Amino acid sequence: MKADSSFRRFLFSLRSYAAFFLLMSFVITCCMVLFLKTLQQTLDIGFTEANIRSAAVATFGNVLFLSLLCTVIDGVRRKFMVERPVRRIVEGASRLMQGDFSARIEPWHGIDERSGFDTIIDYFNRMAEELSGVETLRTDFIANVSHELKTPLAVMQNYGTLLQAPELPNEQRLEYARAITEQSRRLADLISNILKLDRLENQQIYPAAKRYDLGEQLAECLLQFEDTWEKKSIDIQTDLEEEIYVESDEELLSLVWNNLFSNALKFTEPGGTVSLTLRAEENYALVTVSDTGCGIPPEVGKHIFEKFYQGDTSHATQGNGLGLALVRRVVDIVGGDISVESEAGKGSAFTVKIRRAADGEIQKNP
């Protein structure tokens, strides 16, 4: 790539040299022809003061004419080779500033095939393309957030209106109150996840690494969902190797495990099974959370780590589509890797791969 660029600059230098060579040859040849002709006329007529003055005036006039001609040529060159591409760039930048992210500039070829203006235009078009993608994501994000906020608010408003009925039975009043509480919890979770994801994506959260037992953390996180699996009669199977230590941010990784456990329990039908395994593989710790739920079709699996994407709309009221986006971002920040294996109707298995801490390593202060 560098060799090709250097070769092009070399060709550009040759073209520039040829252009200036022809121009200078033309100017010098004209001056020499006029000088020789004037010298011949002076020799034929004789060296007199008047003849010398006349020859000097003629030579000076010729120089003025050639200077004017070069100025006109340079003006025409600037008009077509400088002002036009600059005007294109200015017009494109103006459209971009006005919010037209579809603005693109056609390449401009000067003396060489790859002029400086072409480089600027190429970077401008790439910048416009990136801004267009960011604007699309921003618009989709706002639309999705608005939708996710409106849904629980509408439910809370409806149940709040029903609670105002004076003759409402106590049983229904309690049911409506529980629904409002559930929707308010969902709304709080949504806002919390949005703030966390925003801080993660803007690198406002810096990992505080410390050495700790990963198996203990997984067990503690899983126990937080005991009420959920008992309510659905879900069988929990664990296979955790002991003495597996990692050096990472414990709080950030807890977001990963909590979201994976929550999804596994949410998509597993009553009487199903959720499994958790932890094993060591060379210098890495592998954590696998699997379930016997509905599974993920291949076309859905391509988007599960996108914000607000929910492949199974039947469970949409139990989440907000930000969990796996948070998981992917956290795993990237701590330098890990996450993969998923799934088959529709048979369940899913998420595997997180994190580098292990060396045995006997001294704990570092956060």
Residue 178 lies inside a defined structural domain of this protein? no
Mean pLDDT of 167-194: 82
Query: Is 44 contained in some domain?
Result: yes
CA separation for the pair 15, 60 (Å, rounded): 31
The residue that leads in pLDDT, 201 or 18, is 18
Tell me whether residue 263 is in a domain.
Answer: yes
| Residue range 237-267, pLDDT digits in tens | 999 998 899 998 888 888 889 889 988 898 8
**296 belongs to a structural domain:** yes
- Residue 7 confidence (pLDDT): 46
SS3 310: coil
Burial tier of 324 (Cβ tally within 10 Å: 0-12, 13-18, 19+): buried
End residue of a domain, out of 110, 131, 152: 131
Note whether 97 and 74 are within 8 A (CB).
no
Tokens of 181: 């509480």
Question: Can you tell me the mean pLDDT for 273-285?
Answer: 92
- Element housing 212 (H / E): strand 210-213
Model confidence, pTM: 0.52
H/E element holding 291? strand 284-291
Residues 342, 244 within the same domain: yes
Same domain, 113 and 13: yes
CATH number at residue 282: 3.30.565.10
Collapsing DSSP to helix, strand or coil, 359 comes out as coil
Domain closes at, from 108, 131, 154:
131
Q: Does 108 reside within a domain? A: yes
Number of domains within the chain: 2
pLDDT (0 to 100) of residue 366: 38
Mean pLDDT highest for which of 136-145, 192-201, 282-291, 308-317? 282-291
Among 109, 131, 153, identify where a domain stops: 131
Has residue 151 got a pLDDT over 80? no
Q: What is the mean pLDDT of residues 128-147?
A: 68
pLDDT at 113: 52
The answer to whether residue 3 scores a pLDDT higher than 50 is no
> Is residue 31 domain-shared with residue 125, that is, in the same domain?
yes
The residue range of the domain holding 236 is 211-355
Which of 54-63, 125-134, 181-190, 346-355 shows the lowest per-residue confidence on average (mean pLDDT)?
Answer: 54-63
